[in-house]
Chain A
Amino acid sequence: MAGIGNQAGLPSVLTDEQLASAQLLPRKQPWTWVAAVAVVLVLANALYSILTNRGFGWPVVGEYFFAPQVMAGLFTTLMLTAISMTLALLLGIIVAVAAASRNPVLSSVAKGYIWIFRAIPLLVQIIFWYNLAALYPKLGFGIPFLPPVVEFDTNSVITAISAAIIAMSLNEGAYMAEIVRSGLNSVDSGQREAARALGMSSWDSFRRIVMPQAMRVIIPPTGNETLSMLKYTSLVSVIALPDLLYSTQLISSRNFEVIPMLLVASLWYLLVSTILMVIQSGIERHYAKSVVRP
């Protein structure tokens, strides 16, 4: 009977009837409203200034938003992101599996690759691949230490686009390998064991049992990496490849509308990022469907 509010242990003044039929009201929260109003005011003020400050140059933004040069740049950015990310994912899976291999040569090479390509800045890697001809004027395929079977002129193979794709795939592949590795480690060893005990091949076990479960861990950071990649593609301006940002800068070097052209690029990045985020949450839902929340 004795509680905090009734320390003397006096008998309650409320009847059973009153307790059972009590009318319950939520707690009053005046500060929630004060905070909301304050935030809305600040935002409204910012929006007003964005719309009325002539420096933003919204008419110019509108004029160039769908300009052919911007569209071409957007296409380059999307293509670089899509190709590099796909190659990086494949590379990441191969390297992660190799790193976990029982073959010591294979696993050392995989770990060495991850070490080097994560350590050197992407910008350096892009410039390096672009200038590969300085190191090897000719590229060829064949058996090591024997004369090559086929041979190419390096400068005909390494264009700005291919240098950018090689650099970004190799760099991103090292990060993806670490992400895939953590995903594979997240799958209980009993899963592989059960698949083996059923007579499944290691390829079937990897493809049908381990990888689908690893995907739940792999997808969120891969979404992050894709968003980063989308924006890191702007580094290719260093080898004069006209991506989205570089295209808008080329325009502003002619018309001197620096801020409006940056806005054009930013709004496109914002739009594409938003679409990618929606796609990511769709994929996450797909792989979470077996998770039961009772």
Chain B
Amino acid sequence: MNPIRARGIRKSFGALEVLKGVDLDLAKGEVLCILGPSGSGKSTLLRCINHLERPDGGMVELNGVPVGYRLSGTTFRELPEREIQKQRAAMGMVFQRFNLFPHLTARQNIMEAPRRVLGLSATEASQRAERLMKQVGLAEKVDTYPGALSGGQQQRVAIARALAMEPSVMLFDEPTSALDPELVGEVLDVMRSLADSHAMSMIVVTHEIGFARSVADRVMFMDGGVVVEQGKPQAVLANPEHERTRAFLRRILE
């Protein structure tokens, strides 16, 4: 069963229709990179998948179960917030602006949700934090506050924080767009090693064509709230079928 199956996702903000019916499938262990110009709806799609935004139409399934709704008869009834929180906890999200909790150390950042949501003991959560900080190469920074970390280090802590919930899917929303160029590599390296383990299904919204080419199993190009084309990275990136994809790649590779 595919971890994620989304059909006909639509979302408007006021008069602006950001998503015009998007279908998306993510296979187990697959890495899907979503490319597209800004305003194409990539981030909104990601936020609809974990129900941070409620889609106006269409439905997302996580491991075969509708996200945010329960089927009753022939209609879908919205779930209580508590139920949606459980579903969200199974999808790790990494933000463009990291969104680490500045008043907590890296360890406390990672421990917070496993303790509150999964009910882990302080010892278990702390051990998990140490293991994950080691995994992202920051073992010695475990008791540092975010303010004392570089942007790249903060984003690696944010990845560790999301992984601490042991999600079945990871969603990356332009994880390197807010970073100084020389710090992009360390974050991509962590994501690459996560992809290489084949244990994690990942959706990555990114502008890093090089990363998409070398890591993605599939690339999806979005523009104007629709999926323009998708396929193997070699195919889509080297020989795009649509003019819109070609124009975008020309601009970004210049």
Contact = CB atoms under 8 A, between A and B. Distances in A.
A160 B121 CA distance: 50
A209 B97 CA distance: 16
Interface string B104-124: 110000001100110000000
A183 to B, nearest CB: 13
A-B pairs with lowest CB-CB distance, top 9: A199-B89, A194-B99, A198-B113, A190-B99, A292-B147, A197-B93, A292-B148, A199-B117, A290-B103
A130 to B, nearest CB: 43
A217 to B, nearest CB: 12
A197 B88 contact: yes
A154 to B, nearest CB: 42
A215 to B, nearest CB: 9
A138 interface: no
A209 B52 CA distance: 17
A198 B109 CA distance: 11
Interface in A212-233: 212-213
A29 interface: no
Contacts of B103: 212-213, 287, 290
Interface residues of B, number: 32
Contacts of A196: 52, 85, 88
A198 B95 contact: no
B183 to A, nearest CB: 17
Given A290-B147, A292-B147, A292-B148, A199 B113 contact: yes
Given A193-B95, A194-B101, A199 B147 contact: no
B215 interface: no
B62 interface: no
Contacts of B112: 198, 200, 208-209
A153 interface: no
Interface in A174-202: 188, 190-191, 193-202
25 contacts: A190-B97, A190-B99, A193-B52, A193-B99, A194-B93, A195-B101, A195-B113, A196-B52, A197-B50, A197-B91, A197-B92, A197-B162, A198-B113, A199-B88, A200-B116, A202-B81, A209-B101, A209-B112, A212-B103, A213-B102, A287-B103, A290-B147, A291-B102, A292-B145, A294-B148
A191 B104 contact: no
A189 to B, nearest CB: 9
Contacts of A209: 101, 112
Nearest to B101: A209
Interface of B: 50, 52, 81-82, 85-86, 88-93, 95, 97, 99-105, 112-113, 116-117, 145-148, 161-162, 165
Contacts of A190: 95, 97, 99
Contact of B162 (A191, A198, A200, A213): A198
Contact of B113 (A188, A200, A294): A200
Nearest to B50: A197
Given A195-B113, A198-B162, 4 more contacts: A194-B100, A197-B50, A197-B52, A291-B147
Nearest to A209: B101
Contact of B99 (A191, A212, A292, A294): A191
Nearest to A197: B93
Contact of A201 (B82, B90, B92, B162): B82
A201 B89 CA distance: 11
Nearest to A204: B116
